[in-house]
Structure 1
Amino acid sequence: VLLALVEKGLQREEAYKIVQESAHQVWNNPEGDFRTLISQHPQVTQSLSPEEINACFDPHQHLRNLDQVYQRLSI
């Protein structure tokens, strides 16, 4: 989420603050859900579409180059 916000033009410090505050809220509320909370944050919804927010939570997006990493490591 932080990187997506920065790519959309937010200052890194501001994006970090948004993500950190949301994470702390969820940490302090056992029933909290980070994805839902961040999806409702006004600055996030102003910068990212629902599809872009969902992409931040797609594990395939983060693992797409895993085979190349394994090849480089000869694993």
Structure 2
Amino acid sequence: MSREKAYDLIQPLTARSWDHHLMFKDLVLKSKDITDTLSPEEIDDAFDYHYHLRNVDLIFKRAGLE
């Protein structure tokens, strides 16, 4: 899927999530256009914050904040 197509699928969901105080992940999991492409496991992986925080300890150490 192109980046533009992915953006077009996600953008309305982000707006709906924000405007109606809904959980974004729930909207993604209910979107047939997205679930036709990604499995629930792949969606879970995309929302796993551990990947994005994996170097926090190293960053704090380098900054002298251990």
TM-score interval, normalised by the smaller of the two chains: 0.7 to 0.9
**Number of equivalences:** 63
Task: Return the TM-score normalized by structure 1.
Answer: 0.70
Question: Stretches of 4+ moved more than 6 A in 1?
Answer: none
Structure 1, unaligned runs of 5 or more: 1-9
Cα distance, 1:65 vs structure 2: 3.2
Question: Greater Rg, structure 1 or structure 2?
Answer: 2
Percent of aligned pairs sharing the same letter: 37
1 or 2 for the larger relative contact order (CA 8 Å, sep ≥6)? 1
Is 1:52 aligned to 2:53, yes or no? Answer: no
> C-alpha root-mean-square deviation of aligned residues, in Å?
1.9
Once the 2 structures are TM-superposed, how far is the Cα of residue 67 of structure 1 from its aligned partner? 4.1
Distance 1:27 1:60 in 2: 23
Deviation string 1:27-50 (CA, Å, 9 cap, x unpaired) is 1213x2211001111121011111
